[in-house]
Amino acid sequence: MPDASVTNPLRIAVLGGRSWIANAAVIPAIEGCASAVLAGLGSRSGPVTYDDVLADPAVEAVYVALPNGMHLEWVERAAAAGKHVLCEKPLAATSAEVEQMAAACDAAGVLLAEAYMTPFHPRSIEIARLLAAEDLGDVRHAEAAFTFPLVDDANYRWMPSQGGGALLDVGIYCLSPVLAAFGGLPDEVIASAVMAPSGVDATTSIRLAWSAHATASIVTSFELPERQSLHVAGTAGALAVERPFTPGPHDTTFTITRPNGSVETHETAGGNCYEAMIDAFADAVRGRAAWPRPTSEVLAVTGLCEMIAAAASTPRGATP
């Protein structure tokens, strides 16, 4: 029997066909997967508009690669057109918008998925498995950093109206594994932010605490030198991984240091996490498997970003 993903590939079109991430990663992933086929490119000023894409009966799903501030409108419009939606992260700037998008897609009977690709990489899958299995014992502390200099002053990520800022742009990468390590939202949030002239955060530094004597420190930035790191320390081991958030085919190792000082080097397969994400999206639309990241997880990260932003805007010692 032929593979159903080959004989019936999901027809995905792109809203935001000139987006950098769409052209650098997601469109090549769609073209590289047997489970999907590129069904169109909609651009704001091109010959094929967003509305043209949504009106095309051959298009089954859309990848929304638009600036954050445009996600709500076009997710709702895609749902109204009966299209399944894979929307670039962050899905929304607020929990209320996430819930609004989810409600629109539920009412239309279409899938809503956030295009957060990191969890689909084999190394990320193995790290998540070890954390779920409590291989590190009782986790006491985690550190995560995602920083890089965003030198293009005209980039939409500097614009408040487009949901810009370092926390919203890269916070999901740092916060998602930390929440997984501790099993839920923190009891205390302390944060400070360096604001850019445009009014978004250029750097946000965060301290989180849980009642079970557990803490985390996180930094996200558009002005610090490039750095990606994740460290999770528990009573039975300390996990360390470099370049954890944008892994590629050659990112296959991480280490665990045990209490006796021994260092384990764990080796996994490499892979293209964008292609794996597209395969998972096609499988979920076709009913072959459930989409692995439910809306509740998106809401947890979005809600925590809101808590962090509120803490960063509150003078130290004041009650938010």
- The answer for 184, left when phi > 0, alpha when psi is -120 to 50, beta otherwise, is left
The size of the chain, in residues, is 320
Query: Active-site residue among 11, 83, 84, 89?
Result: 89
Q: 165: alpha, beta or left, given left = phi > 0 and alpha = psi -120 to 50? A: left
Burial class (CB within 10 angstroms; exposed 0-12, middle 13-18, buried 19+) of 3: exposed
89 is catalytic: yes
Phi, psi for 28 (deg, rounded to 5):
-60, -35
Alpha carbons 160 and 172: distance in angstroms, whole number? 18
Q: Are 311 and 320 in contact (CB under 8 A)?
A: yes
Spatial CA neighbour of 89 closest among 103, 105, 109, 75: 75
Describe the strand order of the beta sheet including 188-195 as a list of residue ranges: 188-195, 201-210, 214-221, 139-147, 227-234, 237-242, 253-257, 263-267
First to last CA, the chain: 61
Report d(CA 310, CA 74) in Å as an integer: 27
Give the position of tokens 């076009």. Answer: 74
For tokens 């970003």, what's the residue? 305
> DSSP H helical segments within 12-94, as ranges?
20-21, 27-32, 50-55, 71-80
Q: What is the DSSP letter of 228?
A: E
Q: How far is CA 215 from CA 167, 186, 189, 220, 318, in A?
A: 19, 9, 10, 17, 21
**Which residues are annotated as catalytic?**
89
